Structure 1
């Protein structure tokens, strides 16, 4: 595919998006009815806002969902301390709640506009960002091209490309190069990710490591933690976190297999999408398993089999309830989820083998003995049973996971260093703006005779 053909395709993408824009309201309303959009703030998806743009330079930072938002929050904190306004956009209700709970009022949060020309144009006209920073694998063609047309520097941080994403872009290499060439810098998670970005036309590309390991777990309600631990008592327990459809069924089967040897077993299930909690509770009950749900404040009684963590933004709470955590989207589904948060919260990590999206993290954990892969429910049950029966091995595995995370740290500093060439001019601009405001105030005082 030629460069000219690729640019024609991208132009057609923008034109089609513009034509569809009048009809997108139906889609947003549908998502609102499904609880996937904030009814009070859905206009933000069209690039509209009631918040005035502050004076001075502004950095637009975008993170898609909870995982990316958690990873990038320490970087946002660093930027916000530099006397530069930070506008943070996210794409989901859960990530918006995370920002509201933990970021405070020193940053501006908005829902990211739809990747349609009228919405993006309205957003950029209002906010006029001086720098755009996106996280991980957020590639939105219209937004990237419009930022490029306005000569606004774009930096992709914590960048990663899964096997599937890389293969898809590789088939459309001319389109990929037309998009990725708009990035002023790509800061990749690993050498493999860096090679993939370079192969798709990104320049320059550096490696920082994973920002997730430099982020502190969000604070938790210690009273809630104490209550849950008291209710669980000395019962054997393990957790399955960030589970997807089909994996909860496996958890129910594993629970029943393990209760033969551990009659007091409690299984903690934290679905990736809590909106599925009702259907999951019904499924567990068909297996004869009594369920307690955190969203209802249910008491964990001696005969409770499943404790469901069906609340948003409380992963740190649930991981502190156990020493063993299976990380989902790895037995059913593809790609896995990030194992670093469980490892840094002192749990032995178990996972299915479909962990392509976090290959580097898993390779490090497995090499050091902090994680183990299983291929099916029998292996999962066997691994949990082994760790229950071998507490010394469990302690060694937990220590290895934590040591791996500590050895991986430093990504935040490397990322900030990569951003410095873009931030320094904004700091000068901020100082000049402040000085101009001070001069204007002094002139007014002189005219009034103060």
Structure 2
């Protein structure tokens, strides 16, 4: 009953999101397990809430396709951007099935599971939905929480609803957790200790196209930007773009040819951020326009989907957003894997362990505001050997912590062997 009382709020939230991003108006039936696409039954179900989780899940999904060549894999998400990313990642894979995950209502969860009838459910990171998990348990479908993470703040939130959280976690088959600290949080909240294992973060197992840096160098040569200082501010949120542009203005005073690649996190902000760049007097080109970046261009706005790694590859220095505002940060390992010195704001509560590793290795520098960001950029441009040392340190951290994907796949294989 409690979940149904929340339906008006769910409908209101969907309507508000649809006003900002019209894609939310499409496929509404799927969110209530109505009009689901025709699907093969009996495979593996993977849930990745949005873009970041979809990208993180991709190597695992490809490995599962290879390991179980006879099984379909159903990949669900909650956002239009996540949906587009899943379609792009697996466009040529006929065994990948996709739809939105229905809202966490008992009847919707049950209808979805009866439609797909998976042998195993895999949820990425921390998307815990009690009704979906309970409906899986009723059907004897084991559920894995893969690449699991749980911040202290999230743990406190779940603890406030212990009567709901404890039985939900107890019904899950396996937690493949990133760190021991987070593993203990899951145990404290009610996960069965024998079902919790520290496997590490599969984000360290990021697969990079070996030709990516070469293609980026070629494009910079076409732009006549080989010697230009180029930095990227990636996955920025509302409230950060102003600071980023302020830092870039300061940088231009000492390096007039500097180029900023600005990549807002959410597509619905592309137009407003582009307008902000123009209002502030920056000559700006949108990546989607396919226009060349000429020497007079000060800002390239990354408004395309699926190109973030390539945009990182184009830059000399990377700032990772969601961190100057209290959003918890985003994936610091993507620029590190491309051997870029990494800057971020102080708000990294979603990536504390990874941030600590990079910080200890000398691969990450945190800044508190636009002034500090500009100073860090100027210092790294003036001291290329120091920038190189940061980049090498980040790459070393990546290599030293790989192997989580193999450990995760081994655990999944053990569960599948019991089916």
| TM-score > 0.5, shorter chain as reference | yes
> 1:188 and 1:229, CA in 2 relative to 1: closer, same or farther beyond 3 A?
farther
- Secondary structure in 1 matching 2:350: helix
Matched, 1:60 2:49: no
* Cross-structure match for 1:380: 373
* Residue-by-residue CA offset, 1:198-223 (whole Å, 9 max, x unaligned): 11011221011111121314786986
Matches within 5 A, 1:233-272: 233-272=226-265
Task: Kindly state the Cα deviation for residue 239 of structure 1 after the two structures are TM-superposed.
Answer: 0.8
Matched, 1:164 2:153: yes
> 1:161 and 1:229, CA in 2 relative to 1: closer, same or farther beyond 3 A?
farther
| Equivalent-residue separation in structure 2 for 1:50 and 1:188 (angstroms) | 31
| Equivalent-residue separation in structure 2 for 1:88 and 1:358 (angstroms) | 25
RMSD: 2.3
Task: Kindly state the Cα deviation for residue 102 of structure 1 after the two structures are TM-superposed.
Answer: 2.0
| Equivalent-residue separation in structure 2 for 1:166 and 1:317 (angstroms) | 35
Which of 110, 113, 117 aligns to 1:121? It is 110
* Cross-structure match for 1:435: none
- Secondary structure in 1 matching 2:255: coil
| Equivalent-residue separation in structure 2 for 1:53 and 1:321 (angstroms) | 40
| Equivalent-residue separation in structure 2 for 1:175 and 1:24 (angstroms) | 19
* Cross-structure match for 1:344: 337
| Equivalent-residue separation in structure 1 for 2:216 and 2:371 (angstroms) | 33
Larger displacement relative to structure 2 (85-94 or 335-344) = 85-94
**Preserved CA contact (<8 Å) 1:115 1:142:** yes
Matched, 1:414 2:410: no
Which of 395, 404, 419 aligns to 1:402? It is 395
* Cross-structure match for 1:45: 31
**Preserved CA contact (<8 Å) 2:342 2:364:** yes
* Residue-by-residue CA offset, 1:353-393 (whole Å, 9 max, x unaligned): 11010011111111111111112222111111111011111
| Equivalent-residue separation in structure 2 for 1:61 and 1:206 (angstroms) | 19
Any gaps of 5 or more consecutive residues in structure 2?
Answer: none
TM-score normalised by structure 2 residue count: 0.92
**Preserved CA contact (<8 Å) 2:14 2:24:** no
Task: Kindly state the Cα deviation for residue 184 of structure 1 after the two structures are TM-superposed.
Answer: 1.1
Matched, 1:299 2:292: yes
Which of 156, 173, 187 aligns to 1:198? It is 187
Aligned residue pairs, count: 411
> 1:97 and 1:407, CA in 2 relative to 1: closer, same or farther beyond 3 A?
same
* Cross-structure match for 1:71: 56
> 1:29 and 1:15, CA in 2 relative to 1: closer, same or farther beyond 3 A?
closer
* Cross-structure match for 1:142: 131
Any gaps of 5 or more consecutive residues in structure 1?
Answer: 1-11, 427-450
- Secondary structure in 2 matching 1:343: helix
> 1:25 and 1:358, CA in 2 relative to 1: closer, same or farther beyond 3 A?
closer
* Cross-structure match for 1:226: 218
Task: Kindly state the Cα deviation for residue 15 of structure 1 after the two structures are TM-superposed.
Answer: 4.4
* Cross-structure match for 1:88: 75
Task: Kindly state the Cα deviation for residue 159 of structure 1 after the two structures are TM-superposed.
Answer: 0.5
| Equivalent-residue separation in structure 2 for 1:337 and 1:315 (angstroms) | 12
Larger displacement relative to structure 2 (372-381 or 343-352) = 372-381
Q: Which has the larger radius of gyration?
A: 1
> 1:37 and 1:217, CA in 2 relative to 1: closer, same or farther beyond 3 A?
farther
Task: Kindly state the Cα deviation for residue 72 of structure 1 after the two structures are TM-superposed.
Answer: 1.1
> 1:347 and 1:224, CA in 2 relative to 1: closer, same or farther beyond 3 A?
closer
| Equivalent-residue separation in structure 1 for 2:364 and 2:22 (angstroms) | 33
- Secondary structure in 1 matching 2:253: coil
* Residue-by-residue CA offset, 1:120-141 (whole Å, 9 max, x unaligned): 2221121112211101010112
